[in-house]
């Protein structure tokens, strides 16, 4: 290596650090193939992962809660205080495990619904159950007459619609069933109390009857009944006498009428007078 080459080599001092965006852009321009080679696989990787995320559909079903009337049994009712417990009650029912189990049972026992709900998973080669495929949430909105909204998500639009519909319909059945059970329970309780009170009344009457027999002393109720019976008998006799009095008075009036007729016409024969006395 000659002296000129040594001088040239020694004159190439190392450059300083890259500063500024312009220098970075110059490097990319000079090395764009390398940048493209690195960026393309990364972009394809993210695009592939985004395509692998399954699509989800949402369907909603809603109903309104009708508040109680403003007046019950002639007493004013504060709707704000009475409606809040109802909202909490319905929310607990809609989010209950009993309702979810009932919806799962309904879909599993209906082949058409089960096939529609599991079809997206089967087509993707994913093993799933009806319970795992059902997903829904409940929200409340509005005042006065709040609206309960059931939002169901699923892998297909039709299956989301099925889930939302079945949640609402099964909740109506569950709510009605619980209400009927409460009414039946209250009815049985009232019937039991009524039988107990009737048994107490019968027992008391038996004791009163035994006491009257043992002591030969009528009670006030017996005296009242006896007086009422006698009064009724007296009233019947009075009515009977009044009717008889009217009959006698009518007969007297007829006799007086015949007497006046005979007195007015003295030329009547005995036979005609006799015929006139026939009443």
CA distance 180 to 186: 10
pLDDT at 136: 94
CA distance 129 to 114: 9
Q: Assess contact for 90 and 65: CB atoms under 8 A.
A: yes
Taking only the tens place, the pLDDT of each residue in 212-269 is: 677 776 665 666 666 777 778 888 888 888 888 888 888 888 777 777 766 666 665 5
Q: Of 17-21, 30-34, 48-52, 227-231, give the range with the top mean pLDDT.
A: 227-231
pLDDT band at 206 (very low <50, low <70, confident <90, very high): confident
Q: Is residue 7 scored above 60 in pLDDT?
A: no
Q: Which two tokens stand for residue 250?
A: 């009518």
The SS3 of residue 14 is: coil
At residue 140, φ and ψ (nearest 5 deg) are -120, 135
Taking only the tens place, the pLDDT of each residue in 49-85 is: 665 557 888 999 998 887 765 544 445 555 566 678 8
Residue 162: other Cβ atoms inside 10 A: 24
pLDDT at 162: 93
Query: How many Å separate Cα 172 from the centre of its chain?
Result: 7
Q: Assess contact for 78 and 71: CB atoms under 8 A.
A: no
Could you tell me the sign of the dihedral formed by the alpha carbons of 26, 29, 31, 37, in that order?
positive
When mean pLDDT is compared across 67-76, 107-116, 202-211, 222-231, the lowest value belongs to 67-76
pLDDT band at 13 (very low <50, low <70, confident <90, very high): very low
Q: Is residue 272 scored above 90 in pLDDT?
A: no
pLDDT band at 274 (very low <50, low <70, confident <90, very high): low
Q: Is residue 110 scored above 80 in pLDDT?
A: yes
Q: Of 4-13, 181-190, 199-208, give the range with the top mean pLDDT.
A: 199-208
Q: Which two tokens stand for residue 5?
A: 């080459």
* pTM exceeds cut of 0.85: no
Phi-psi region of 127 (alpha: psi -120 to 50; beta: other; left: phi over 0): beta
Q: Which two tokens stand for residue 260?
A: 């006046």
Nearest in space to 118 (alpha carbons), one of 106, 102, 129, 107? 129
Q: Which two tokens stand for residue 275?
A: 């015929």
> Which ranges in the chain belong to alpha helices (H)?
3-11, 20-30, 32-52, 79-94, 97-108, 111-123, 130-133, 157-215, 220-264, 270-276
CA distance 166 to 102: 9
Q: Is residue 108 scored above 80 in pLDDT?
A: yes
Q: Give 58 or 126, the one with higher predicted confidence.
A: 58
Matching residue, tokens 């009737």: 198
Q: Is residue 199 scored above 80 in pLDDT?
A: yes
CA distance 91 to 85: 10
């Amino acid at each position: 290596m000659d002296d000129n080459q040594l001088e040239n080599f020694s004159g190439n001092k190392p450059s300083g650090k890259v500063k500024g965006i312009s220098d970075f852009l110059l490097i990319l321009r000079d090395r764009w193939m390398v940048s493209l080679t690195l960026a393309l696989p990364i972009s394809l990787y993210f695009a592939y992962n985004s395509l692998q995320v399954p699509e989800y559909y949402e369907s909603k079903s809603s109903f309104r809660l009708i508040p109680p009337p403003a007046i019950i049994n002639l007493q004013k009712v504060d709707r704000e205080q009475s409606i809040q417990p109802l909202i909490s009650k319905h929310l607990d029912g809609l989010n209950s495990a009993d309702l979810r189990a009932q919806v799962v049972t309904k879909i599993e026992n209906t082949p058409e619904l089960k096939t529609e709900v599991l079809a997206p998973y089967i087509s993707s080669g994913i093993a799933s159950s009806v319970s795992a495929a059902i997903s829904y949430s409940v929200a409340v909105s509005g005042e006065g007459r709040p609206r309960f909204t059931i939002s169901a998500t699923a892998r297909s639009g039709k299956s989301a619609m099925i889930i939302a519909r079945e949640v609402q319909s099964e909740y109506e059945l569950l709510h009605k069933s619980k209400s009927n059970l409460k009414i039946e329970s209250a009815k049985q309780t009232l019937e039991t109390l009524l039988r107990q009170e009737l048994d107490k009344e019968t027992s008391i009457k038996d004791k009163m009857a035994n006491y009257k027999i043992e002591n030969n002393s009528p009670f006030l109720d017996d005296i009242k009944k006896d007086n009422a019976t006698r009064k009724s008998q007296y009233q019947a006799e009075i009515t009977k006498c009044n009717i008889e009095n009217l009959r006698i008075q009518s007969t007297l009036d007829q006799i007086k009428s015949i007497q006046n007729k005979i007195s007015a016409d003295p030329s009547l024969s005995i036979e005609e007078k006799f015929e006139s006395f026939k009443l």
